[in-house]
A and B are shown apart, each in its own frame.
Chain A
Amino acid sequence: MARKSVIPFGPQHPVLPEPLHLRLVLEDERVVEALPSIGYIHRGLEKLAEQKDYIQDAFLVERTCGICSFIHALTYCQGIEALLKLEVPPRARYLRTVWSEMHRVHSHLLWLGLLADAFGFENLFMQAWRAREEVVDLMEVTAGARIMLGMCCVGGVRRDLTDEQLAAVLKSMDKLNRQFDDLIPVILKDYSVQQRLRGVGRISRETAYERGAVGPVARASGVARDFRETGYAAYGELGFVPVVETEGDCYARMEVRLAELYQCLHLVRAAVRKMPSGPISVTPKGNPDGEYVSRTEQPRGEVVYYLKGNGGKNLDRLRIRTPTFANIAPLLAMLPGCELADVPVIVLSIDPCISCTER
Chain B
Amino acid sequence: MAKLARSPWVVHYNCNSCNGCDIEFLACLTPMYDAERFGVLHVGNPKHADVLVVTGSVNHRNARVLRNVYDQMPDPKVVVALGVCTSSGGIFAGCYNVFGGVEKVLPVDVFVPGCPPRPEAILDGIVKAAARLGAKIRGETPPPVEKPKAAFQPAAVPEEKK
**From residue 41 to 80 of chain A, which have CB atoms closer than 8 A to chain B?**
41-45, 47-48, 50-53, 56, 59-60, 63-67, 69
**B17 near A355: Cβ-Cβ < 8 Å:** yes
Query: What would be 11 A-B contacts, judged by CB atoms less than 8 Å apart?
Result: A11-B65, A17-B22, A17-B23, A63-B18, A63-B20, A65-B18, A66-B21, A66-B23, A69-B18, A133-B27, A147-B23
User: What's the minimum C-beta distance from A36 to chain B, rounded to whole angstroms?
Assistant: 14
**A14 near B44: Cβ-Cβ < 8 Å:** yes
- How far apart are the CA atoms of A60 and B115 in the complex, in Å? 12
Number of interface residues of A (CB under 8 A): 47
**A43 near B23: Cβ-Cβ < 8 Å:** no
Beyond A44-B96, A66-B116, 13 additional contacts (C-beta under 8 Å) are A11-B62, A14-B45, A41-B14, A43-B57, A43-B92, A44-B97, A51-B155, A51-B157, A63-B20, A129-B30, A133-B27, A133-B30, A314-B161
- How far apart are the CA atoms of A40 and B56 in the complex, in Å? 11
Task: Report if B95 contacts A (CB, 8 A).
Answer: yes
Nearest chain-A residue to B33 (Cβ)?
A133
Enumerate chain A residues within 8 angstroms of B155, measured Cβ to Cβ: 51-53, 56
Report which A residues bind B (CB closer than 8 A): 11-15, 17-19, 39-45, 47-48, 50-53, 56, 59-60, 63-67, 69, 110, 113, 125-126, 129-130, 132-133, 136, 146-148, 312-314, 353, 355
Enumerate chain B residues within 8 angstroms of A43, measured Cβ to Cβ: 16, 57, 59, 92, 95, 97-98
Instruction: Sort A-B residue pairs by CB-CB distance and give the 6 closest, nearest first.
Output: A14-B44, A66-B20, A66-B19, A129-B30, A44-B95, A44-B97
The binding surface of chain B is classed by DSSP as: loop
**B118 near A146: Cβ-Cβ < 8 Å:** yes
- How far apart are the CA atoms of A132 and B91 in the complex, in Å? 27
Q: Assuming the A-B contacts A66-B20, A130-B31, are A51 and B96 also in contact, with contact meaning beta carbons closer than 8 angstroms in the complex?
A: no
Enumerate chain A residues within 8 angstroms of B46, measured Cβ to Cβ: 12
- How far apart are the CA atoms of A42 and B62 in the complex, in Å? 9
- How far apart are the CA atoms of A313 and B158 in the complex, in Å? 10
**Binary contact track B19-47/A, C-beta < 8 Å → 1, others 0:** 11111101100111000000000011110
Enumerate chain B residues within 8 angstroms of A66, measured Cβ to Cβ: 17-23, 116
Enumerate chain B residues within 8 angstroms of A56, measured Cβ to Cβ: 155
**Binary contact track B86-119/A, C-beta < 8 Å → 1, others 0:** 0000011011111000000000000000011010
Q: Which of A12, A67, A353 contacts B13 (CB 8 A)?
A: A12
Task: Report if B10 contacts A (CB, 8 A).
Answer: no
**A126 near B31: Cβ-Cβ < 8 Å:** yes
**From residue 66 to 104 of chain B, which have CB atoms closer than 8 A to chain A?**
69, 91-92, 94-98
